Structures are given as C-alpha cells and as structure tokens.
Amino acid sequence: MSDCLFCKIVSRQIPAQIVFEDDLAVVFKDINPQAPTHVLIIPKKHLSSLADSADDDAGLLGHLQLVARRIAKEHGLTKGFRVVTNNGQGAGQSVDHLHYHLLGGRAMTWPPG
Ligand code: 5GP
Ligand code: ZN
C-alpha cells in the first residue's frame, strides 16, 4: 500500500524507532506514548484492521501475539501489560494498517475510555 503510513515505516520511507523486526512483523515506539512502554506491533503485510484479516491469517495473527509476549519480556513488564487493537473509527482507529498497542510500565484501569 503505497499511501499507508505504517507500510512506509516497514519500507523505511518514514523513520521510526524500531525495536524489533523479523520476517513477518515490525515493532516500533509510538510517536505519542501513553505509557512508559508504548510500542506498536504490526504485520509487514498490509491488513487494514483485524476485521479485514482472513482465516488464512491465523498464523500471522498468532505470531503477532508471540511478538508481544517477547517484547513485554524484553522490556521487563513483569507487573503487567496490555495489548490492544482499535478496530474501526468507532473504536478510535486512526491508522488503517493493523496494529497492536503494547502498553506497560504503569498501573492501568479498566474499562478503557
Ligand atoms: P490507533 O489510534 O489507530 O489505534 O493508533 C495509531 C497510533 O499510531 C497512535 O497511538 C499514534 O500515536 C501512532 N502514530 C501515528 N502516526 C505515527 C508515526 O508517524 N510514527 C509513529 N511511531 N507512531 C505514529
Ligand atoms: Zn499498510
């Protein structure tokens, strides 16, 4: 997707503080962090949202969760962390490339806003 912000981060057309990368995923620091640790975990493949994923994406979606586990461990988030995706405008999605927020390093409340 040539006009997608996060695809441009994957292809290094736009700079980001990348903390992890493998064949399927990239993880980078959120530009407007909401917690001491706030990174975005994205597939390299363009998917607009979780709702736009297919059954064939099961392996990829599972992989993203395992990346979240790994990054949480590497950042020492032993007291807890949150992994969330905002799906659609009504949920606050502002970038139409699937991303999971990984947040940690502070106490969190529920329900979210
Ligand atoms: P959403 O609102 O779609 O759930 O999350 C999008 C996230 O992307 C926001 O937390 C926002 O701060 C982050 N973001 C938007 N533009 C950029 C950017 O150019 N670079 C980085 N690193 N994060 C961005
Ligand atoms: Zn994209």
Give domain status of residue 110, yes or no: no
Q: Which pLDDT value is given to residue 1?
A: 72
Number of domains in the chain: 1
Strands 18-21 and 81-84: unpaired
Neighbours of 72 (CB within 10 A): 20
> Could you count the other beta carbons within 10 Å of the beta carbon of residue 101?
18
Q: Note if the pTM is more than 0.95.
A: yes
User: Is residue 78 assigned to a domain?
Assistant: yes
Domain hosting 43: range is 5-104
Burial 56-71 (b: 16+ CB within 10 A, else e): ebeebeebbeebbeeb
The fraction of the chain above a pLDDT of 70, given in percent, is 100
Inside any domain, residue 112: no
Helix (H, G, I), strand (E, B) or coil at 38: strand
Determine the pLDDT at residue 113.
84
Q: Any idea what the CATH number is for the domain that residue 56 is in?
A: 3.30.428.10
In a domain, 94, yes or no: yes
Q: Specify the residue with its C-alpha closest to ligand 1, atom 15.
A: 31
Q: What percent of the chain has pLDDT over 90?
A: 97
Q: 41, 85 in Cβ contact below 8 A? A: no
Binding site membership of 54 for ligand 1 (Cβ less than 6 Å):
no
In a domain, residue 53? The reply is yes
Each residue of 39-72: pLDDT tens digit? 999 999 999 999 999 999 999 999 999 999 999 9
Tell me if 100 is assigned to some domain. yes
Q: Report how far ligand 1's centroid is from the alpha carbon of 30 (Å).
A: 6
Q: What is the mean pLDDT of residues 4-28?
A: 98
